[in-house]
Amino acid sequence: MKQKYSVKGMTCSACESHVYNSVCKLPGVSNVEVNLLTNSMNVEFDEHQTNDTLIIKAVKDGGYRASLFEEGLIDSDELVGLKKRLVYCFIALGLLMYVSMSAMFNYPIPSFIKDNSYTNIIFQVIFLIPILILKKEYFINGFKNLIHFDPTMDSLIALGAGAAIVYSIYSVVLTLTGTMMEMHLVHNVYFESAGMIITLISFGKYLEARSKKKTTDAISKLLELAPDVACRINDGKEEIVKISQLMINDKVLVKANETIPVDGKIIQGFSSVDESMITGESLPIEKGVDSLVIGGTNNLQGSFIYQVTKTVEDSTLAKIIELVEEASSSKAPMTRAIDKVVK
């Protein structure tokens, strides 16, 4: 059995690899293809040994969200939310850097912050906390994957920022116990480093998400070529149905300036069709009885009735989209070997 799923939360190739490894471990799974660009995953499995629930649970246990495939390649709300959280992180980081660097640079700042090490550190912690809350998934997913001996980029971020925070707390403890002088305390805490690591990595991931959105525009435009509904002729009467309801041998009416729903053969009428979006042919193609038409192309003038020869799942447009998705998700054996070395 082959099933397609939507996977949310992936931001890099390491995430893609982690989802792949999580699902591959399940019994009965013979093949897994994870596509970072389309946030999707194709899985071939033996339904007697595993099922959708177990596959979705394996993805969720790895720190990502999964569900049965949903149409739509880009979650614009998720990108907007990512940008909003990034702005808040930069604001908090700016305040954190302003306070932490006050001991090294002579710029205006209240004396009770600049001259008192403990007050200075308290404000650093206050400005660091929003960053940690906004980007808590780095620590949750990072340490979870590290415990499972399947580290990702989040694991590296969590270790780097976590080490800076733990060492800073250790320095505060040394000062409170009298082991280290208070005047050296502000130079031995690295809360600003933890905030900088998390914020700059988040900025990089935001840029990567924007780039991914632009990359998938071509596939999105292909999906938009086909109309949502079609005018089917049933016992001489016209009825509007979804293109997914069209069956082979159904008769469909296409009027001037409408988009052809699915592939078929004209049985009545004559027209000119713009097929440039599929074939690249710049000039309109004249179509008459027995001429083949392609779903997603535009009828320029006249109207005709045609007989459906392929369902929406088997149409030329669907095959093109499928090939593009497979090309972007497939990996050569050498690439998979490199992924293992990188880990």
With beta carbons less than 8 A apart as the criterion, state whether 152 and 145 touch.
yes
Same domain (yes/no): 125, 240: no
Same domain (yes/no): 199, 264: no
Same domain (yes/no): 102, 207: yes
The CATH number of the domain holding residue 40 is: 3.30.70.100
Residue 177 within a domain:
yes
The CA distance from 74 to 65, in Å, is 15
Q: Which of 73, 89, 120 is the last residue of a domain?
A: 73
DSSP E strands: which ranges in the chain? 2-8, 29-35, 40-45, 65-68, 229-234, 237-242, 251-254, 264-269, 271-274, 285-287, 292-293, 298-301, 304-308
Same domain (yes/no): 85, 211: yes
Residue 334 within a domain:
no
pLDDT tens-digit profile, the chain (343 residues): 888 898 887 877 777 888 888 899 899 999 888 887 778 888 999 988 999 999 999 998 877 888 888 654 455 677 888 899 999 999 999 999 999 888 777 778 888 888 788 898 999 999 999 999 999 989 988 888 888 777 778 889 999 999 999 999 999 999 988 888 877 788 889 999 999 999 999 998 888 888 777 767 767 777 778 888 999 998 889 999 999 899 999 999 999 999 999 999 999 999 999 998 888 888 899 999 999 999 989 999 889 999 999 998 888 888 887 777 676 666 667 766 776 776 6
The CA distance from 233 to 250, in Å, is 8
- What the block records as the tokens of 44 is 């071939």
Q: Which residues pair with 68 in a beta bridge?
A: 5
Same domain (yes/no): 32, 43: yes
The CA distance from 154 to 138, in Å, is 5
Same domain (yes/no): 308, 247: yes
Nearest Cα neighbor of 3 from 35, 39, 32, 25 is 32
Same domain (yes/no): 104, 61: no
Q: Encode 225-264: b = buried (16+ Cβ within 10 Å), e = exposed.
A: bbbeebbbeeeeeeeeeebeebeeebbbbbeeeebbbbbb
With beta carbons less than 8 A apart as the criterion, state whether 70 and 76 touch.
no
Number of domains in the chain: 3
Residue 68 within a domain:
yes
- What the block records as the tokens of 222 is 């292909």
Same domain (yes/no): 146, 162: yes
The CA distance from 61 to 25, in Å, is 12
Same domain (yes/no): 269, 197: no
Q: Which domain holds residue 88?
A: 76-215
